[in-house]
């Protein structure tokens, strides 16, 4: 190939050089004709000026046509796309042969800017200017001679001009010829140089080619020897055994490795019978049949067999072979290899077992599993997936997942794209934020949890996708049920307090933006406890259900009705002014009054007290204050006679009192949490033995947020109204017992003989109070005989049977009891016969005025006498002056309590610097 290229270059150079020389020769010939024609034209024109004969002028025209033709051809060649017909015509007028025209054109166009050729063309261009001047002079002469205007002076001047033009052209003609001669010589010299260079290049290439061929021959020989050595080493060291069977001679070659596999000696050649004898007896016939089939029918030889070892075990081998056949197709020679596959067979067995375990696992799990290939087409569905999708594996195999599974968002029902294609498209961590359902062609959709995970090969390339679907219909139903239960009351089906407060907050926000009024109704059943106590809690539950059903027909569908707890209900009337809300509340009250509840053989007339809070753009309350205001209004309705609607107003003093009490709830709870309650004690003096160890009543005080002492009359009413007294009572018991235990351990001389602890009516009704008190007696090791529990007359009478039972239980331990405020309730004195109390405390309002009021004196005297008749000791409260103390003593009352005797003081904490300073007596009572 290099030689051909060099020869082609040489031929091209020769052809180009010859073309240039031929063109230069043609230009030289043309220059000769040009110069001759120019001389003839000048001579003819000079003769014409003298003779004025047209024949002379015609000779001039014939001669001048040669330079003008060459001039026209040159002008055309200067164009970017010359017309070769014009060029040939111009050179033809110049006397140039048509065969020389293409070469002259190529030389002019491609080499007009090169060396001598450029100089020749410059001369030509300059000469053409003179020819143009000559032609113009001839035309002028011909015109004047034709008119007869030929003065002698003009003829002489014109003749001189002709001679001057001729003199200018003559050296140009020589210069043009010299330039073309130089171009010819330069071309010849260049051709000689190129030929020498090409010849040298050919010699160099030939030598390099010869050297390369020698090197290649040496390399091939070396590689052949290396290949032979590698083959020998491969045969000697290969883990595979090699065999070669010449069927014509019967010779069998076995490589050392194969002989080792077969358990044969390393020396000597084997025979066909020797080889087959080494195989496992169960495999010999199978292998011989495979070899025979290959020899006669040219089937591929690819068999697996076992070889027995000396220890009796068998190892697996894999043999492959091929035959060399003659023209008739007869096997002449066979060769092949044998590979040990024992480990592979074990791995295959383990893989099969693992696959079986995986398939059994997939068959038995409850999750639906779908696997696909790298194109997203289904490979496998486990039974759960077949049940869930209603497709079998055989029908679905090869189909895209989207063909059998359509997924949609549960909330919107909008279908989602195939997760398989999303994972295959480069989203390996596919997840769906919304809950999904699986759509079915027939039947309802199934709620599912879905995961899509890529399957990757050893190189990390994506080989498919596994979809795992779990039917979560029951889970979501359960979650929905839990969500419903979290926001609804189980008994009535109405929303609960939490949900109502959420809707109330939303209504407050909406009202602030839109300015629309809204109203809250707070309802409390009157005498609901009577139904529970007389007919059991089942009757109370049924009453609450019937009561809740009343709301359906008397409030709007958009209104929220909630049960807050017990017999308390609340209604949120959105976009409802006070007048309309009052009408709805009255309708509800009337409907409740028309509800005649019957349970068993008993029937009850039902009524409810309703508190109404209506808020508009001019009236705003915080969300947490709205329910408090409605509750306060409801309590006020109860106090005003029940079965009525009480409207809340911002300037309503009565409601404000109730709200103030409600505010105490959080303060009391905070005080309990931060241990800001304090125990005080006031002496109860035995008038018969004034010097005896004191008998004290324990009183509770609260330390306010500002550190000031809060009297009981400020917070006890709120605690009683809102059910906080049991917590306070228990705190008093624990604190009193702890103080007594500390005083006993330090042998304090001021330990009272008897401590009276007040118990509220609410605590008295608690089932676990007796258990709690026994635990405290045991924990602090306090003698029950040193404790007296004081209960009010109204609390005891409101739950007489429970109070009587509790008193008997505690008296059995050794505790004593005092009946407080006796006479305030105007109850029958016969209750004293049934209440096993030790002391009767006479209502202080009677004692305070008995000196000035005979009626009060008579009441005090009667209570004292009845108490003594029933075997009880009496205590006069509120003894605030020596005169009262003397009057009480004269009546024979056993004990007296009041400021004239002692003021309340910290209980067993005298001298303790950690206690707050004691307030004046007239401020703390």
306-349: pLDDT as tens digits? 988 878 888 899 999 998 888 888 888 888 888 988 888 888 88
Buried b / exposed e over 457-495, threshold 16 CB at 10 Å, is eeeeeeebbbbbbbbbeeebeeeeeeeeeebbbeebebb
Contact 765, 802 (CB under 8 A): yes
pLDDT given for residue 6 in this prediction: 57
pLDDT > 70? residue 660: no
Res. 563: pLDDT tops 80: yes
Q: State the residue for tokens 């500390």.
A: 742
Residues in the chain: 925
CA distance linking residue 343 with residue 358, whole number of Å: 22
SS3 of 96-147? CCHHHHHHHHHHHHHHCCCHHHHHHHHHHHHHHHHHHHHHHHHHHHHHHHHH
pLDDT of res. 612: 92
Query: Does the pLDDT at position 384 exceed 80?
Result: yes
Scanning 766-824, the segments in alpha helix (DSSP H) are 769-780, 793-798, 800-813
pTM flag (> 0.75): no
| Per-chain mean pLDDT for the chain | 81
Segment 57-71 mean pLDDT: 80
Q: Is 312 exposed, middle or buried (0-12, 13-18, 19+ CB in 10 A)?
A: exposed
Structure tokens given for 140: 């002028």
C-alpha separations of 496 from 266, 508, 578, 611 in Å: 94, 18, 24, 18
Does residue 619 have a pLDDT over 70?
no
Neighbours of 648 (CB within 10 A): 29
- What residue has token string 């195939």? 418
Structure tokens at 752: 């009272």
CB-based contact 815:789 (threshold 8 Å):
yes
pLDDT at 798: 66
Instruction: Return the percentage of the chain with pLDDT > 90, whole number.
Output: 15
Contact 384, 367 (CB under 8 A): yes
Q: Under DSSP, is residue 333 helix (H, G, I), strand (E, B) or coil?
A: strand
Q: Which residues contact 130 (CB under 8 A, 6 or more apart)?
A: 165, 168, 169, 172
* Angle of CA points 876, 877, 881, to nearest 5°: 95
Query: Counting beta carbons within 10 angstroms of the beta carbon of residue 227, is it exposed (0 to 12), middle (13 to 18) or buried (19 or more)?
Result: exposed
Q: Mind listing the pLDDT tens digit for each residue in 460-495?
A: 788 888 888 888 878 777 777 777 878 888 888 899
Determine phi and psi for 677, rounding to 5 degrees: -100, 150
Whether the pLDDT of residue 433 is over 80: the answer is: no
SS3 854: helix
Q: pLDDT band at residue 923, thresholds of 50, 70 and 90? A: very low
Q: What is the CA radius of gyration of the chain?
A: 65
Highest mean pLDDT among 31-35, 156-160, 166-170, 915-919: 156-160
Q: Is the pLDDT of residue 427 over 90?
A: no
Whether residue 192 has pLDDT greater than 80: no
**Closest CA relative to residue 330, chosen from 243, 244, 247, 245:** 247
Cα 747 to Cα 739: distance, rounded to the nearest angstrom: 12
pLDDT at 925: 25
> What b-and-e string marks burial along 319-338, b requiring 16 or more CB atoms within 10 Å of the CB?
bebebeeeeeeebebbebbb
Instruction: Determine which helix (DSSP H) or strand (DSSP E) holds 483, and give its type and residue range.
Output: helix 473-487
Determine the 3-state secondary structure of 605 from DSSP: strand
Q: What's the confidence (pLDDT) of residue 661? A: 61
Highest mean pLDDT among 533-537, 784-788, 806-810: 784-788
Q: Which residues pair with 409 in a beta bridge?
A: 436
pLDDT grade for 653, boundaries at 50, 70 and 90? low
Is 728:672 a contact under the CB 8 Å cutoff?
A: yes
Residue 70 sits at the vertex; the CA angle it makes with 68 and 74, to the nearest 5 degrees, is 115
Check whether 517 has a pLDDT greater than 70: yes
- Kindly report, residue by residue over 860-911, the tens digit of the pLDDT: 998 899 889 888 999 999 999 999 999 999 999 999 999 999 999 999 863 3
Task: Please tell me which residue, 542 or 601, carries the higher pLDDT value.
Answer: 542
């Amino acid at each position: 190939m290099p030689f051909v290229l060099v020869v082609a270059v040489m031929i091209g150079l020769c052809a180009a050089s010859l073309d240039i020389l031929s063109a230069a020769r043609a230009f030289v010939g043309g220059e000769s004709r040009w110069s001759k024609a120019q001389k003839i034209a000048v001579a003819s024109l000079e003769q014409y000026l003298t003779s004025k004969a047209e024949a002379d002028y015609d000779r001039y025209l014939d001669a001048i046509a040669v330079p003008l033709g060459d001039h026209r051809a040159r002008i055309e060649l200067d164009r970017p796309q010359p017309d070769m017909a014009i060029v040939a015509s111009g050179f033809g007028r110049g006397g140039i042969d048509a065969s020389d025209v293409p070469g002259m054109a190529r030389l002019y166009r491609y080499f007009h800017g090169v060396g001598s050729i450029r100089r020749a063309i410059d001369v030509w261009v300059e000469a053409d200017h003179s020819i143009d001047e000559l032609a113009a002079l001839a035309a002028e002469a011909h015109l004047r001679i034709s008119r007869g205007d030929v003065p002698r002076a003009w003829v002489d001047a014109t003749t001189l001009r002709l001679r001057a033009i001729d003199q200018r052209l003559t050296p140009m003609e020589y210069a043009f010829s010299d330039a073309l001669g130089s171009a010819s010589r330069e071309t010849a010299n260049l051709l000689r140089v190129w030929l020498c260079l090409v010849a040298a290049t050919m010699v160099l290439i030939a030598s390099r080619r010869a050297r390369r061929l020698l090197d290649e021959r040496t390399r091939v020989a070396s590689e052949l020897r290396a290949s032979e050595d590698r083959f020998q080493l491969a045969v000697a060291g290969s883990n595979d055994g090699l065999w070669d069977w010449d069927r014509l001679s019967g010779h069998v070659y076995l490589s050392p490795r194969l002989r080792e596999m077969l358990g044969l000696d390393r020396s000597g050649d084997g025979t066909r019978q020797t080889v087959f004898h080494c195989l496992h007896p169960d495999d010999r016939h199978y292998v011989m049949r495979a070899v025979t089939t290959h020899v006669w029918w040219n089937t591929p030889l690819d068999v697996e067999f076992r070889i027995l070892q000396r220890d009796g075990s068998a190892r697996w081998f894999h043999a492959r072979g091929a035959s060399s056949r003659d023209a008739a197709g007869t096997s002449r020679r066979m060769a092949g290899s044998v590979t040990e596959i024992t480990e592979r067979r074990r791995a295959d067995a383990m893989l099969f077992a693992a696959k079986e375990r995986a398939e059994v696992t997939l068959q038995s799990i409850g999750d639906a599993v779908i696997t696909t290939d790298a194109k997203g087409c289904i490979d496998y569905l486990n039974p759960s997936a077949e049940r869930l999708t209603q497709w079998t594996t055989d029908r679905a195999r090869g189909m895209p997942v989207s063909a059998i599974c359509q997924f949609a968002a549960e909330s919107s029902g909008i279908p989602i794209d195939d997760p398989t294609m999303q994972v295959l498209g480069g989203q390996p961590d596919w997840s769906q934020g919304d809950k999904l359902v699986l759509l079915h062609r027939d039947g309802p959709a199934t709620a599912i949890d879905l995961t899509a995970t890529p399957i990757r090969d050893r190189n990390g390339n994506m080989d498919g996708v596994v979809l795992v679907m779990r039917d979560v219909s029951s889970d979501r139903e359960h979650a929905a049920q839990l969500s419903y239960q979290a926001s609804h009351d189980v008994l009535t089906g109405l929303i609960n307090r939490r949900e109502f407060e959420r809707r109330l907050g939303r209504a407050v926000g909406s009202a602030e933006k839109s300015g629309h009024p809204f109203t809250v109704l707070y309802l409390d059943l009157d005498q609901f406890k009577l139904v529970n106590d007389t007919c059991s809690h089942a009757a109370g539950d049924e009453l609450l259900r019937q009561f809740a059903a009343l709301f359906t027909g008397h409030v709007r569908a958009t209104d929220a009705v909630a049960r807050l707890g017990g017999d308390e209900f609340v209604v949120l009337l959105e976009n409802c002014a006070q007048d309309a809300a009052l009408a709805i509340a009255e309708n509800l009250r009337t409907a409740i009054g028309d509800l005649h509840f019957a349970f068993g053989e008993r029937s009850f007339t039902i009524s409810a007290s309703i508190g109404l809070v209506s808020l508009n753009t001019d009236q705003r309350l915080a969300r947490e204050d709205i329910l408090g205001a409605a509750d306060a209004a409801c309590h006020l309705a109860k106090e005003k006679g029940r079965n009525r609607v009480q409207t809340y107003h911002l300037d309503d003093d009565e409601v404000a009192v109730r709200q103030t009490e409600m505010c105490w709830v959080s303060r009391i709870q905070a005080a309990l949490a931060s241990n800001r309650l304090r125990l005080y004690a006031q002496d109860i003096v035995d008038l018969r033995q004034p010097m005896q160890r004191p008998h004290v009543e324990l009183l509770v005080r609260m330390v306010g947020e500002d550190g000031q002492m809060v009297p009981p009359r400020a917070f006890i009413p709120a605690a009683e109204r809102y059910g906080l007294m049991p917590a306070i009572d228990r705190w008093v018991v624990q604190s009193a017992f702890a103080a007594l235990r500390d005083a006993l351990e330090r042998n304090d001389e001021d330990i009272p003989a008897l401590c009276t602890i007040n118990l509220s009516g609410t605590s008295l009704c608690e089932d676990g109070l007796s258990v709690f008190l026994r635990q405290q007696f045991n924990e602090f090791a306090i003698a029950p005989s040193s404790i007296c529990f004081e209960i009010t007359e109204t609390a005891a009478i409101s739950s007489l049977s429970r109070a009587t039972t509790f008193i008997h239980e505690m008296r059995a331990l050794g505790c004593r009891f005092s009946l407080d405020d006796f006479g305030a309730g105007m109850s029958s004195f016969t209750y004293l016969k049934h209440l096993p109390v030790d002391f009767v405390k006479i209502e202080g309002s009677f004692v305070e005025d008995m000196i000035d009021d005979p009626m009060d004196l008579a009441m005090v005297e009667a209570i004292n006498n009845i108490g003594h008749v029933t075997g009880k000791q009496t205590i006069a409260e509120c003894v605030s002056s020596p005169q009262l103390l003397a009057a009480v003593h004269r009546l024979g009352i056993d004990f007296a309590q009041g400021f004239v005797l002692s003021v309340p003081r910290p209980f067993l904490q005298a001298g303790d610097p950690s206690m707050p300073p004691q307030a004046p007596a007239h401020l703390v009572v």
